[in-house]
Amino acid sequence: MIHSELKKDLKRAIEKSLKIKVKEIHLEHPENPEFGDYASNFALVKFKEIKSKMPNLTNPLDLAKKIIENFSKKDYLEKVEVFPPGFINFYLKDKIFCSNLKKILREKEKYGSSKIGRKKTIVIDYSAPNIAKPFNIGHLRSTIIGQALYNIYKFLGYKVIGDNHIGDWGTQYGKLIYAIKKWGNEKEIEKDPIRKLHELYVRFHEEVEKNPQLEDEGRKWFKKLEKGDREAERIWKKCVDWSLKEFDRIYRILDIKIDLTLGESFYVPMLKNIIKEALKKRVGSTFWFTLPIK
């Protein structure tokens, strides 16, 4: 790429002219095409620092001129000029643009790809919606940004795994199971599951305002779910299936690729051993909660 090549050539010229080591070179595209295709403000930014070592320099413009003295002729450049107060401007040859256009037409959608990520794997965790709840703006944001990163890394040659860690476990699902059994109709829910399930969850909390003991009912049903109660598992699995179906519909609209979908529930069987291992290695902490006695 011309951009990378020009940066390397400018770096060499600076190091040769000033007898210093340069870590990074920044190039910009001038807003006015009359000032070239690329421009560097290195002389402006570094003038004070370099003048302390080279007192003969009077201003950034002198420094810029000194740098281009050691900028050797390049096949891809028409000319290199210096502009006040100290810019170095580069003009590309027309044939470079023609060459790039031919390359774009030849490589088509593969143009710009690379193998920089070859033999490397990257996992991107994105989207992560909650079961039985509608997508919110945060989930959509994560989904779109995650997919963009997925596409970029894949284009650069990485093996990419798109991971969707959904929220499908916790006391809230005990509350939802209770609400479905108390006020819900599964056949009706199936017609518009996300909206109906959300309404039932909201209703549960409205009813709790009148009857706080319903919180205990929610905890009881989640405890049943944790212990593998068939009815609790049946309803919970339906909620998961209904939700995943809706999520997939949204992903198809947005052209989102998910390689792996695992919920919080996937890790539940592993938790006891993980906690034991963490405590054994002293990388965990134990908390004691004091609850009021009723």
Angle made by CA atoms 19, 20, 23, in degrees to the nearest 5: 150
How far apart are alpha carbons 177 and 172 in whole angstroms?
Answer: 9
Task: Tell me the C-alpha distance between 261 and 163, whole Å.
Answer: 6
pLDDT in tens, 122-156: 999 999 999 999 989 999 999 999 999 999 999 99
pLDDT surpassing 60 at residue 180: yes
pLDDT band of residue 6 (cuts 50, 70, 90) is: very high
**Domain 113-286 belongs to what topology?**
Rossmann fold (3.40.50)
| Tens digit of each residue's pLDDT (9 = 90 or more) over 262-285 | 999 999 899 889 888 888 888 866
The answer to whether the predicted template modeling score (pTM) of the entire model surpasses 0.85 is no
Preceding peptide of 60 cis, ω within 30°: no
Mean pLDDT of 231-239: 97
Q: Is the pLDDT of residue 293 over 60?
A: no
CB count, 10 Å around CB of 94?
9
pLDDT value at position 23? 85
What's the rounded Cα separation, in Å, for the pair 132 and 206?
A: 17
**What is the percent of the chain with per-residue pLDDT over 90, rounded to a whole number?**
76
The position carrying tokens 């290199």 is 80
- Nearest-angstrom CA–CA distance, 20 and 27: 19
Q: Is 18 helix (H, G, I), strand (E, B) or coil?
A: helix
Same topology for domains 2-96 and 113-286, yes or no? no
Domain ranges of the chain: 2-96, 113-286
pLDDT at residue 294 tops 60 = no
pLDDT of residue 291: 55
Residues 55-92 have pLDDT tens digits of 888 999 999 999 999 888 888 999 999 999 999 999 99
Q: Which CATH superfamily is domain 2-96 in?
A: Arginyl tRNA synthetase N-terminal domain (3.30.1360.70)
